[in-house]
Structure 1
Amino acid sequence: MKTLSLMPMLAAAVLAAGVTAAAAQELKIGYVNSERVLREAGPAKAAQAKLESEFSKREKELADVAAKLKTASEKLEKDAPTLAEGDRSRRQRDLVEQDREFQRKRREFQEDLNQRKNEELAGVVDRANKVIKQIFETEKYDVILQEAVFAGPRVDITDKVIKALNGAK
């Protein structure tokens, strides 16, 4: 008797699995590796180059100040035994103050850089999303994912997106 009551449930499960498999075969799914798009697409590379040119002067200035601070610190360490207590204290205070100013400028630089990077990347992401939407509509996808744990090469359309971004002006 128990085997007879299991048969309808088993048949329903097999039928449901068959219907689900058939529906899944009809779906057109795409996957885009956003990280790769932001690394390899022409507009992303152009944005990176623009940021580098925009911030390279300030970065070099900060590196120069850091080198000067290091040299001054080493000189103080070397001269400390022969300096009078007052001179050593004054130079240490000066060095601490210069380092504090350097740290402030470095923080400001990093904040400015991060803000500009976010602005530039937002523009690239917006363009990429428009390209993805265009591919979605023209090639009649049911769903295009940008985040996935695993995606096979059959559904990966990242190269299409990169080519479209590189071709678009």
Structure 2
Amino acid sequence: MTLVFAASAQAAEVKIAFVNSSTLLEQAPQADIAKKKLEKEFAPREKEIRDAQQTAQNLENKLNRDGVTMSDSERSKQEQELNRQLRDLQRMQSNFRDDLNLRKNEELGKLQRVVLSAIKDVAKSKGYDLVLAEGVVYAAPQVDITNDVLTKLQQDVKSGK
């Protein structure tokens, strides 16, 4: 009878692993690639905003410096131009933030899919039945496969996946 229970317990043994997905999302080389891609994509608009800020700052400085000697109509015209530039700048900044956040979320979604695929690949190749992620209070080092998955992600980048 004891042998039957031992064999039954052994057959029901489940191989479990843990992965720290936050670490993977931060340290995956794909995350750096996505970040550089976004920086390159948004660099021209960021420069345009900096230029618009500088233009508005220059106009404000001119008004502060020369406003006293300007005629009322000229000063009023310059103040209206400054206000227009500041509104345009705020609109540009708002659109920039919205577009950047949208693209960041798109890239994060892609990265999450890549990381999930790598976790599944590592789990299958190492014979794990269950892989846990967030919400785990404790995971012993021998069940933590985070480094294995990170290695897989690095290999995928090197192989062009």
Q: Does the pair score TM above 0.5? A: yes
Question: What is the rounded CA distance, in whole Å, between the counterparts of 2:51 and 2:39 in structure 1?
Answer: 17
Identity of aligned residues (%): 39
* Distance of 1:79 and 1:45 partners within structure 2: 48
Residue of structure 1 in register with 2:49 after alignment: 62
Q: How many angstroms apart in 2 are the aligned matches of 1:54 and 1:153?
A: 41
- Determine if contact 2:19/2:133 at 8 Å carries over to the other structure: yes
- Which residue matches 1:141? 128
| TM-score, length basis structure 1 | 0.75
Q: Distance in 2 between matches of 1:90 and 1:29?
A: 72
Q: What do residues 106-148 of structure 1 show as CA deviations (whole Å, max 9, x unaligned)?
A: 1111111111221122111101101112223333334323313
Q: Give the counterpart letter for 2:96 in structure 1.
A: F
Q: Pairwise mapping of residues 61-140 of structure 1 onto structure 2 (< 5 A)?
A: 61-140=48-127
Aligned partners of 2:110, 2:26: CA distance in 1, in Å?
14
Aligned residue for 1:30, secondary structure, equals strand
Shift of 1:99: 0.8
Distance 1:77 1:29, change over 3 A: farther
**Aligned residue identity for 1:162:** L
Q: Partner of 2:128: helix, strand, or coil?
A: coil
CA-based RMSD of the aligned residues comes to 2.1
Identify which range, 141-150 or 129-138, moves more after superposition.
141-150
1:27-62 deviation per Cα after TM superposition (whole angstroms, max 9, x unaligned): 544332223222221211111111111111111111
Structure 2: stretches of 5+ with no match in the other structure: 1-8
| 2: CA distance, partners of 1:107 / 1:164 | 38
Whichever residue aligns with residue 157 of structure 1, its letter is I
Q: Do the aligned partners of residues 146 and 77 (structure 1) sit closer, same or farther apart at CA in structure 2, a change above 3 Å counting?
A: farther
What is the count of residue pairs matched by the alignment?
145
Separation in 2, partners of 1:31, 1:84? 73
Q: Do the aligned partners of 2:123 and 2:131 also contact (CA within 8 Å) in 1? A: yes
**Match in the other structure for 1:166:** 154
TM-score normalized by the length of structure 2: 0.78
Deviation of 1:149 after TM superposition, in Å, equals 6.3
